[in-house]
Amino acid sequence: MPRSTKLSTYRAKRDFTKTPEPGGKNKIPASPRLRFVIQKHDASRLHYDLRLELDGVFKSWAVTRGPSLDPRDKRLAVEVEDHPLDYGDFEGTIPKGQYGGGTVQLWDRGYWIPEGSKAPHEGLSDGDLKFTLEGKRLKGSWVLVRMKHDRMGGKRNNWLFIKHRDGHALNGNGDSILAEDRSIASGRTMAAIASGKGRGPTPFMQKEKRGADPSAIWDSRKGLAARERAAAKGPARKKARA
């Protein structure tokens, strides 16, 4: 399936004249290893978005209570639409009223390695995807297991995100990792990101590019949002005058 088709749902849900989220048009340098990111997302409810690179996009799940290092904790992970790879460098504020409105922090990133004899596509199809994470915060063996039914009675594609027992697991207090409220890419807290303060995030997917503008509060009349809108209006005004 072409990447443009895979991202059709993602694009249909967003108005890119109002949200700072990438449209998926940037060319991302190829990597010999599969990348992953986890974004802390304070939308209608605080959750953590797990994204695994596969076939030119990020397969994505919203982990409702965040990851736990305790293998006894089974965290609900709602599968959502595929995201573009340049989303792996996104940190900022989605305006209220837009899809997923709220603050987004790059909470973890690194590489993931499929485990076992199954190809990752087969694991996804079977609803049993085992993998190792090599991130700044999450490490070791994990599994995503698809649930048979949406316990809320809807049509969501629900999975469970579970830590395997290994040297990186904890016996109890698995939530302790969530106390880390500093961006892995910029060092900013959620509050600093929401206010547009501090340095912008260091890119991971597009390493050759400079960090993003930290003042990207996209619902304001100043900063990067205003410059983007002015640039878009400029050609139209010149054409009208002509």
Residue of 25, 197, 222, 233 with catalytic role = 197
Residue 67, amino acid: P
| Cβ contact 120:139 at 8 Å | no
Q: What are the tokens at 32?
A: 């010999």
| Cβ contact 188:106 at 8 Å | no
- Would you give the DSSP letter of residue 188? -
Beta bridge partners of 34: none
Q: What are the tokens at 103?
A: 């603050």
Residue 83, C-beta contacts closer than 8 angstroms, at least 6 positions apart: 7, 10, 24, 51, 57, 58, 60
Residue with tokens 């199954």: 118
Where are the alpha helices (H) located in 174-223, listed in sequence order? 190-195
Whether 197 is catalytic is yes
- Would you give the DSSP letter of residue 178? G
Exposed / middle / buried, residue 132 (Cβ in 10 Å: 0-12, 13-18, 19+): middle
Distance between CA atoms of 65 and 106, rounded to whole angstroms?
Answer: 16
Helix count and strand count (H, E) for the chain: 5, 9
Positions marked active-site: 197
